[in-house]
């Protein structure tokens, strides 16, 4: 199946479900022009965003997202899979055994700004705790003591108490496993999450829903970033973006094989 046949399959499936392009646009948060481009066969060389749009549209209609994306990409970009290995490993979550190309995106400026803000807040908290810490010598205690008694007319020097160490402030890891939780706020949000090179989630979350993943390298394509709350290792990071809807964020770093 080539990209034109894939576009025809999307259009035929939509019409068989008695859905208009506007209906699908509202449900998937995709623009009408994007849906029309998909049904027309798409560009000759689709980028990463276009592939995610094709997968979202296909899975919304009940089609196989991997097959539709492979048709738009073409045979030169697909990854060959050994038939014996595919038979030995059962498919997960009903997906095709064809490998999904791993996406490598540049770290978003918004993610970097969030990390800097968290570091500044942590520094302010540490400085304020040290400034407020005042050595206190507990007094008024009775009972036996191993300390020699001091005459009443002699003023004993006060012994400063050891200041307690502040709790360690969580820092976003750049290496090792990282746990992420995504939850929409007041609007539906579409997400495609790739963990260590494999797509583990692709769909629409409604307010009240959430999804959580753990891995060394996590790449997330957002369809409604302004309304998606992100939690990293239990630390609330706020929404993914204050002013963008469609974007890609990268967390952690890829594992290096010696």
- Compute mean pLDDT per 10 residues along the chain, 258 residues long, and list them: 87 92 91 88 78 89 88 57 39 40 49 83 79 51 47 49 40 70 92 93 92 92 90 92 90 67
**Alpha helix (H) residue ranges in the chain:** 3-16, 21-28, 32-39, 48-61, 65-73, 83-88, 109-132
User: What pLDDT, on the 0 to 100 scale, is given for residue 179?
Assistant: 93
Which pLDDT tens digit goes with each residue over 148-165?
Answer: 444 445 454 554 444 444
Where exactly are the structural domains of the chain? 3-80, 171-252
How far are the Cα atoms of 59, 61, 66, 87 from residue 56, in angstroms, in the given order? 5, 9, 10, 27
User: What pLDDT, on the 0 to 100 scale, is given for residue 223?
Assistant: 85
- C-alpha 75/C-alpha 72 separation (Å) is 9
Which pLDDT tens digit goes with each residue over 69-108?
Answer: 888 887 543 333 344 433 334 444 344 434 434 334 445 5
- Determine if the pTM surpasses 0.85: no
- C-alpha 54/C-alpha 65 separation (Å) is 7
User: What pLDDT, on the 0 to 100 scale, is given for residue 112?
Assistant: 77
Structure tokens at 88: 């030995």
User: What pLDDT, on the 0 to 100 scale, is given for residue 257?
Assistant: 41
Q: Is domain 3-80 in CATH 1.10.260.40, yes or no?
A: yes
- Residues in Cβ contact with 20 at an 8 Å cutoff, skipping those fewer than 6 apart: none
């Amino acid at each position: 199946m080539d990209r034109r046949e894939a576009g025809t399959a999307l259009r035929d499936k939509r019409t068989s479900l008695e859905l208009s392009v506007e209906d699908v646009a509202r449900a998937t948060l995709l623009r009408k022009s994007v849906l029309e481009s998909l049904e027309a066969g798409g560009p000759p060389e689709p980028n990463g965003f276009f592939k995610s749009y094709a997968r979202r549209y296909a899975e919304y209609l009940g089609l196989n997202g991997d097959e539709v994306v492979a048709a738009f990409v073409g045979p030169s970009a697909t990854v060959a899979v050994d038939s014996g290995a595919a038979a030995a490993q059962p498919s997960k979550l009903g997906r095709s055994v064809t490998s999904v190309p791993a996406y490598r995106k540049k770290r978003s400026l918004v993610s970097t700004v969030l990390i800097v803000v968290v570091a500044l807040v942590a520094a302010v908290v540490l400085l304020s705790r040290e400034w407020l810490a005042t050595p206190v010598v507990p007094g008024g205690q009775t009972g036996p003591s191993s300390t020699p008694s001091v005459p009443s007319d002699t003023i004993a020097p006060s012994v400063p108490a050891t200041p307690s160490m502040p709790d360690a402030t969580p820092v976003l890891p750049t290496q090792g496993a990282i746990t992420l939780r995504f939850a929409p706020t007041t609007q539906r949000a579409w997400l495609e999450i790739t963990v260590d090179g494999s797509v583990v989630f692709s769909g629409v979350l409604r307010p009240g829903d959430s999804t959580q993943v753990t891995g060394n390298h996590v790449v997330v394509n957002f369809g409604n970033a302004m309304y998606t709350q992100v939690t990293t290792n239990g630390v609330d990071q706020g929404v993914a973006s204050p002013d963008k809807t469609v974007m890609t964020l990268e967390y952690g770093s890829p594992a290096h094989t010696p």
